[in-house]
Amino acid sequence: MAKQVVTTIFFVLFHCIISYWAFMSSCSIHSSTKTSIPEIARYFGTKGRYEEVNTYLIDDILAINSSLVTLPSSTCREIHLTAIIRHGTRFPTIKNIQKMRDFYDLVVRNATDNLSCLSEIKSRWKMWYKDEMDGRLVEKGREDHRHLAQRLIRWFPSLLTEGNVRQGRVKLITSSKHRCVNSTIAFREGLMTGLSIKEEVELEPAVSVNDALMRYFDKCDRFVKEVENNKSALEEVKRFSEGPEMKRVMEKMADRLKVPYTSVTDDSVEAAFYLCSYEFTILKVNSPWCQLFDEVDAQVMEYAGDLKQYWKRSYGHDINSKSSCILFHDLFYRLDQVVTQINSNVTISEAVTVQVGHAETLIPLLTLLDLFKDDVPLKSTNFATQQNRIFRSGHIVPYTANLLVVLYKCPEGIRMGVRLNEKSLTLPGLTDPVPMYEDVKKRYSDLLGGCDQETVCKMNYS
């Protein structure tokens, strides 16, 4: 335990030092616009802020917007909440840090244009991202979860209560990845603060690590073989990276930098896009890197990211969604337990269950529920006709994205509400935004009666 505390303190101090140094070397070069939002921020995809999805939070991070939520009759009362949440804002992974470093070196060494943004980058911006940061949670990510916990207290005041915390009816489950564990701890801090519970360690809800649920994709052999480790599974992504839209983005980047076209690859423009997005999401800086893109470039970069999520995690391959069967069944098993306890006049054992994972945890489950499905599949050749697509990863799974499933006890029976990112969703095939729970089970009866994890993930070698 002492070792864990020392390690946690080390990384907090490490982050503070790095963030301060980065602020001094990066924010200061653009101090006049350090709190402004890049014009292309809405195209950052899975690297985007939660505040771009719910813009009212920019002015008040603890605000809730009741106009975005449909509730059942006032005669109903909330009896259970399951929240499946993506981790908060994080550092880039080591793979992307290396790409960013290579592109920074290219700009410093070879770029010759006199654009003001290039002058700023060359003279005052320093490459502050280090390999050891490798996907770790940043302070903004901790704040994301603390604030979400406090908003959920406002959304569900009868469920997220001191009494439920003290009586062990609030459960916290997480992926083993450090960014998820630390997000969960931050959520717990926000919960304790929001409920004005003093720091009494014995009262804090325990954090349980469960990769079988929160990183199910790693455990699904068929997904790993057919998609994760199969380059042909992402053929559409590769074709788009070699297609005319991406080629034009690369050429425009080379023209801006005054370097040969052969110097700029799809990895180069991706790295530049990451430099823009991470500077903003981590440090709230509208950095000069963002000025290397116009809106059309950003739309192309967003589509490239959406294509990858579509083919690797969503409707591109059937196993993508089926790999989440274990999480689907875990959810409905818990909901069934709550209904049984209510019907038996027994105290509900889990008033609130919070499960913290990844974008890769949420997207397959949302796909399994048939949500965000376009009539025409996303492909490498239909960028121009997909401008109004439903499947936009930045709208679905920004940092701290959350799927909220709520059960209500009503005079007519148990109802169920679903929200994504604090906005009501109507489940496909149902017209009532807060349908009867039994109607939801009928809608997904095929999955409830099948979708066995062991069966769907088993490799067929015959």
Query: pLDDT digits over 29-64, tens only?
Result: 333 333 599 999 999 999 999 999 999 999 999 999
CB 293 within 8 Å of CB 38: no
Residue 433 in tokens = 């935004």
Residue 385 in tokens = 């006709």
Query: pLDDT digits over 111-123, tens only?
Result: 987 788 998 999 8
Q: H-type helices in 125-167, by residue range?
A: 139-155, 162-166
Between 20 and 419, the higher pLDDT residue: 419
What's 90's DSSP letter?
A: B
Q: How far apart are CA 440 and CA 343, in angstroms?
A: 18
* Residue 105: other Cβ atoms inside 10 A: 11
Query: Is the pLDDT score of 104 beyond 90?
Result: yes
Single out the residue of 306, 350, 355 nearest to residue 326, CA to CA.
Answer: 355
Place of tokens 């349908």: 435
The phi and psi torsions of 355 (rounded to 5 degrees) equal -125, 120
Residue 31 in tokens = 């101090």
Residue 286 in tokens = 């509208």
Query: Is the pLDDT score of 328 beyond 60?
Result: yes
- What percentage of the chain carries pLDDT values higher than 90? 87
* Residues whose CB falls within 8 Å of the CB of residue 397, separated by 6 or more in sequence, listed in order: 46, 86, 309, 359, 362, 363
Query: pLDDT digits over 228-279, tens only?
Result: 999 999 999 999 999 999 999 999 999 999 999 999 999 999 999 999 999 9
Single out the residue of 428, 434, 443, 442 nearest to residue 416, CA to CA.
Answer: 434
Identify the band that residue 201 occupies on the pLDDT scale cut at 50, 70 and 90.
low
Angle between helix 178-194 and 139-155 (nearest 10): 40
pTM passes above 0.85:
yes
Catalytic: which of 15, 30, 80, 87?
Answer: 87
- The arithmetic mean of pLDDT across residues 422-434, rounded, is 97
- 329 belongs to the catalytic site: no
Identify the band that residue 204 occupies on the pLDDT scale cut at 50, 70 and 90.
confident
* Residues whose CB falls within 8 Å of the CB of residue 200, separated by 6 or more in sequence, listed in order: none
- The arithmetic mean of pLDDT across residues 378-392, rounded, is 97
Residue 101 in tokens = 């470093």
